[in-house]
Structure 1
Amino acid sequence: MLACAGASAATIEGQVTLSLDGKPLRPEEAAEAVVYFRPSTPVAAPPARRPVDMTTLRKQFSPRILPVTVGSEVRFPNQDPILHNAFSTSKENSFDIGLYGQGEGKAQRFDKPGYVRVYCNVHHSMVGHILVLDTPFFVRPDAQGRFRLKDLPAGKGDLVVWLDRATPWHAQLVAGKDGPVEVKLELAQKKVPPHMNKFGKPYGRSSDGGY
């Protein structure tokens, strides 16, 4: 049975701080993280009513990290005057929209919860991250690293803080009863992880494939 989100009233708030090699980073760098709460009693997570954009701009995916609910569509507009590609070999949500030029781009629907790492088959350094969530309760920290999840169903659940370069932070807590949460993440992974192209082969010597 799915709980009714309309009966929600609880709040979870806290602070996310980042460090690299043991040294603290600027608070605003935590704003890329995704904080989500999964209640012990599942709550319906409707898909977005319209496609959510992950734009290609200056040979980067923007936003670099994108949270969506299951069943949502993500569109890949191209604002660069060059060709791009977006693909993923993620087990449950693999896709390939092919080469595309400047314009609105194609959309891809994500029907399975999980993490989708997105690459461009033309540009090796391009990487994006899509979190397909089975909960409607998610938020990003502000420029000070603070977050506030509101209108939650009171009771137990799992709180997760996710950032691509850190090990995900997990805690089981009681929404509406536990106090402010302090989350510390150490960045230990590369911003562009080693990867092959969509054919499972190394990228060519030219990082842009001629585009």
Structure 2
Amino acid sequence: MFERALQVFAKKRYLFALSVLFSHAAISANIDLVIKDQHGMVLPNAVVEIGQANTAFKPTNPSVKKLPVAVMDQVNKQFLPELLIVQQGQLINFPNSDNIRHNVYSFSSAKSFQLKLYSGQPKEPIIFDTQGVVVLGCNIHDSMVGYIYVAKSEQVYKTDKNGVVSLPVTTQPLQISVWHALQTAPLENKKMMNIEPQAILPITINTSSPAPRNTFGSQFKGGND
């Protein structure tokens, strides 16, 4: 009788452990998102953020390890990288690695600023404390365009050259936002959705080709171009 009870108890423990294992595996599995445009072409550099929330920013607790200073460089009259993803409250440095001067600015609501005509290293980095998308330009070279995505969530990802990103599943359903620089929707908008776990999930973002951008006239060159 006692041995029978032990066998039943051991079996229940085994089944319980097995159920925990499978439920954990189901929750911990990844979802592979494939981001494409309306023509079926894959979209590299699409940003996917998990659990993005429109809440007010709270300054970082001094006891918490500070975020590293991110870098948005300028190389060959281009912003490098073209898309930089940072956390809300992170500092960004804007070195100019060209042998000509640039004037970096943004009129975006998430961050409006201007670094007047300079070369080399600016005086100090700039803090980006509001979530959203910041579009960068250069007053001297109008063809220079860059993007800074300021994320609220620490779980933010970028699609690879095949338009794919793998997301860890921690809750079901999963709330995400999707953004791309070429989207037809306003740049400050993000496509919000709830997704259910499955092996591969296609997502479509309507895009348009960027308008050609030309540099300003020679009156702005002044021997610096």
Aligned to 2:46: 33
**TM-score normalized by the length of structure 2:** 0.69
Q: TM-score, normalised by structure 1?
A: 0.73
Q: Does 1:129 align with 2:129?
A: no
Q: Are 1:159 and 2:176 counterparts?
A: yes
Corresponding residue of 1:190: 210
Deviation at 1:136, TM superposition (A): 0.8
The verdict on how the C-alpha distance between 1:48 and 1:10 changes in structure 2, with shifts beyond 3 A counting, is farther
The residue number in structure 1 matching 2:14 is none
CA contact (8 A) 1:39 1:156 kept: no
In 2 relative to 1, CA 39–113 (structure 1 residues): closer, same or farther, beyond 3 Å? Answer: closer
- Deviation of the 1:124 alpha carbon: 0.9
Q: Please give the residue correspondences for 1:144-155 in structure 2 after superposition, counting only pairs within 5 Å.
A: 144-150=162-168, 152-155=169-172
8 Å Cα contact 1:82/1:102 also seen in 2? no
Deviation at residue 179 of structure 1 after TM alignment: 4.7
Give 1:180 deviation, angstroms.
2.6
Contact 1:33 1:162 in 2 (8 A): yes
When the two chains are superposed, the root-mean-square deviation of aligned CA atoms in Å is 3.3
One-letter amino acid of the counterpart of residue 221, structure 2: G
Does the 8 Å contact 1:85/1:100 carry over to 2? yes
Map of 1:73 onto structure 2? 91
Q: How does 1:166-181 map to 2 (within 5 A)?
A: 166=183, 167=185, 168-174=190-196, 177-181=197-201
Please name the residue that 2:19 is paired with: none
Aligned residue pair count: 186
Indicate how the Cα distance of structure 1 residues 62 and 191 shifts in structure 2: closer, same or farther if over 3 A, else same: farther
Query: Any idea what the Cα deviations from partners look like across 1:73-114, whole Å, max 9, x if unmatched?
Result: 111111110001211112241111222213477411011111
Deviates more, 1:60-69 or 1:9-18: 9-18
Q: 1:12 is matched with which residue?
A: 31
- The 2-side partners of 1:96 and 1:145 are apart by 33
Q: Which of 190, 196, 221 is the equivalent residue of 1:209? A: 221
Greater per-residue helix proportion? 2
The answer to whether the 8 Å contact 1:39/1:157 transfers is no
Cα drift, residue 187 of structure 1: 2.5
Is the Cα–Cα contact under 8 Å of residues 39 and 155 in structure 1 kept in the other structure? no
Rg: which structure is higher? 2
3-state SS of paired residue (1:122)? coil
Structure 1 residues 132-154: Cα deviation after superposition (integer angstroms, max 9, x where no partner): 1111111112222211122x531
Which amino acid is the alignment partner of residue 50 of structure 2? F
Which runs of 5 or more structure 1 residues have no equivalent in the other structure?
1-7, 195-202
CA distance in 1, matches of 2:66, 2:201: 28
